[in-house]
Structure 1
Amino acid sequence: MSAPKVAVVTGASSGIGRALALACAREGMAVVAADIEAEALAQTQALVEAAGAACMMQRCDVSNAADVELLAEASWGRWGGVDWLFNNAGVAVLGTAWDATDDDWRWVLGVNLMGVVHGVRSFLPRMQARGMPAHIVNTSSAAGLATIAGSAVYCASKHAVIAFSECLAKDLEQAGSPIGVSVLCPSLVATHIDQSQRNRPAALPEVGPTAAAYGERVRAGMAASAITAEDVARVAVDAIHARRFYVIPHAHTGASVRDRTQKIMGDFHHIHQESLQ
């Protein structure tokens, strides 16, 4: 019997990460589930195994490069390779741009952006050395394609993930690599991201004074969403099979992108029309 294909999912203890792990199990893949929350991660492992797939769990703080390197070593040690990598772990801080603390920035960028960077740096060279087709999915957000008040830190981190992923895809294409890249950009779905503070390191205690005021908006948006974490995971898996780069599960995200693009192009044309007069 041939060895199963292997998927690694960070942020796998709940929400989109858990849904991705289960979607990979339904694909007949073995799953490496990673997260900072060991107890909830064990629940994901049990669900994946109940779905008939092999699953290894490992506690991992993706903001820590050494943790991610250990995750890659453990994945190769157990399975001898990884076919799909989901750099999915993410956290959120809300509040006005000027109230965000240094600790807010360190935490959110450490997880949302550097977690993706660490995943690519630890896993991609090993994937390339195998010389086999593989795929990397980096989780950004609709907030990486547009912007909204009260989300400066989060939006900045997610815009950076999209830029990083676009450059990564171009680098791999130029190198003639068989490794594909997708960037996942969901809008609000019912997850625990509104409770991100539960995992905030004690070493980064200072929270901006307006952070709590924006929480209700996020919770209301999640409650109103017709798209579930399972829907997002299904669209992500479909995108891997289709080798599609942008993965945008929510239809309304298109309007946000269009409005932002029209504003950019409107100002661009205005400036250049003035320069010709």
Structure 2
Amino acid sequence: MNWQGKTAVITGAASGFGLEASRIAATRGMHVVMADVQQQALDAAAAEIRGLGAQVLPFRLDVSKAEQVDALGAATMERFGAPSFVFNNAGVAHGGLIWEHSAKDWDWVIGVNLLGVAHGLRVFTPLMLAAADADPAFEGHIVNTASMAGLLSAPNMGVYNASKHAVVAMSETLYQDLALVSTQVHAHVLCPFFVPTGIHQSERHRPAALADAVAPTRSQLIAQAMSGKAVTSGKVTAAQVAQYVYDAMDEHRFYIYSHPKSLASVQVRLEDVMTPRNPTDPFAAKPELGAQLRAALRATAA
């Protein structure tokens, strides 16, 4: 696809996949609408992308707020018109035993990871379809960031798993719904595994209104430590994943993976569903890790 002069709308644009996707957009001659909840980081990222020669519209945004995403859509249309690439990418991470998630945990994670995508679809899909109706040459792509956690159900990650499974389901439905009404607007879902992006530090950007008054539970502290170690040790970079996103759009490929070898675990899960049999132990290949986690969690009751 010739992206020159087209517009990209990217949430979570100040870091990780969003920043790398913004960099690629600039090098391809696109206008870039950069949305993020972190004002200082957004200002720095927008300055960098302008330095690459792109026209940039920075927009401070909490994707969980419907009215703010509405305003993002209006600002985009006023400045650049309908986008050709919408990257619903903003996300947060939170772990722990599923019954230990507080109501505020659910509100925060579901608000950002699930409703953030829902608002992006609600606002931008109609704009892209209208552009397609007006111009037979228009081509649009919507990419939703899920996770391998949207295809698996790893333990001690309940609220995150739930949010990302929902994003996969929404994206697959979007793909099918778009196929009913258009051949010009396309859907994709990104399912990365552990990539160094900073998502393990999500808590520092949690709104004060959704902060818990009680200290984290042992399971939540364990999940945070495990997530931090896994994310920071990832060998695939955010820049590589952003390139995979553009490759998938160019190839009209729906599923986007950072670690294709991890699909073996997805196959095991689907075999569990189809057989049917009880869920397979996720630590079957590395029983020592499972033993360590069980021992750490059961020490809570000691």
Give TM-score scaled by structure 1 length. 0.93
Q: Using the alignment, how far apart are the partners of 1:3 and 1:193 within structure 2? A: 31
Q: CA deviation at 1:222?
A: 1.7
Which amino acid letter does the alignment assign opposite residue 86 of structure 1? F
> Could you tell me which residue of structure 2 aligns to residue 157 of structure 1?
163
2:201 alignment partner, SS class: helix
Picking from 128, 137, 140, the partner of 2:143 is: 137
> Could you tell me which residue of structure 2 aligns to residue 185 of structure 1?
191
> Could you tell me which residue of structure 2 aligns to residue 59 of structure 1?
60
Q: Using the alignment, how far apart are the partners of 1:253 and 1:140 within structure 2? A: 15
**RMSD of equivalent CA atoms:** 1.6
Q: CA deviation at 1:104?
A: 0.5
Alignment coverage as a number of residue pairs: 268
Q: Using the alignment, how far apart are the partners of 1:3 and 1:151 within structure 2? A: 41
Matched-pair contact (CA < 8 Å) for 2:4–2:29 = no
Which amino acid letter does the alignment assign opposite residue 60 of structure 1? L
Q: 1:65-214 counterparts in 2 under 5 A?
A: 65-131=66-132, 132-206=138-212, 209=217, 210-214=219-223
Cα displacement string for residues 240-273 of structure 1 (whole angstroms, at most 9, x for unaligned residues): 111111001112321221121122222169xxxx
> Could you tell me which residue of structure 2 aligns to residue 24 of structure 1?
25
Matched-pair contact (CA < 8 Å) for 1:128–1:177 = no
The answer to whether the aligner puts 1:222 opposite 2:231 as a matched pair is yes
Q: Using the alignment, how far apart are the partners of 1:176 and 1:192 within structure 2? A: 36
1:93 alignment partner, SS class: coil
Q: CA deviation at 1:12?
A: 0.7
Q: Using the alignment, how far apart are the partners of 1:185 and 1:27 within structure 2? A: 24
Q: 1:249-260 counterparts in 2 under 5 A?
A: 249-260=258-269
Cα displacement string for residues 96-136 of structure 1 (whole angstroms, at most 9, x for unaligned residues): 11101111111100000000000011111111111122010
The answer to whether the aligner puts 1:243 opposite 2:243 as a matched pair is no
Matched-pair contact (CA < 8 Å) for 1:183–1:246 = yes
Q: Using the alignment, how far apart are the partners of 1:112 and 1:237 within structure 2? A: 22
Which amino acid letter does the alignment assign opposite residue 92 of structure 2? V
Q: Using the alignment, how far apart are the partners of 1:102 and 1:160 within structure 2? A: 18
Q: CA deviation at 1:94?
A: 0.8
> Could you tell me which residue of structure 2 aligns to residue 33 of structure 1?
34
Q: CA deviation at 1:204?
A: 1.2
1:211 alignment partner, SS class: helix
Quote the sequence identity (%): 41
Give TM-score scaled by structure 2 length. 0.85
1:252 alignment partner, SS class: helix
Matched-pair contact (CA < 8 Å) for 1:15–1:191 = yes
Q: Using the alignment, how far apart are the partners of 2:149 and 2:262 within structure 1? A: 9
Matched-pair contact (CA < 8 Å) for 2:94–2:224 = no
Which amino acid letter does the alignment assign opposite residue 94 of structure 1? G
- Runs of 5+ consecutive residues of structure 2 not aligned to the other structure: 133-137, 279-302
Q: Using the alignment, how far apart are the partners of 2:118 and 2:238 within structure 1? A: 24
Q: Using the alignment, how far apart are the partners of 2:61 and 2:67 within structure 1? A: 9
- Runs of 5+ consecutive residues of structure 1 not aligned to the other structure: 270-277
Query: Which stretch shifts more, 215-224 or 80-89?
Result: 215-224
Q: CA deviation at 1:177?
A: 4.2
The answer to whether the aligner puts 1:44 opposite 2:45 as a matched pair is yes
Which amino acid letter does the alignment assign opposite residue 228 of structure 1? T
Cα displacement string for residues 201-252 of structure 1 (whole angstroms, at most 9, x for unaligned residues): 1111226523222112112212321100001000001001111110011123
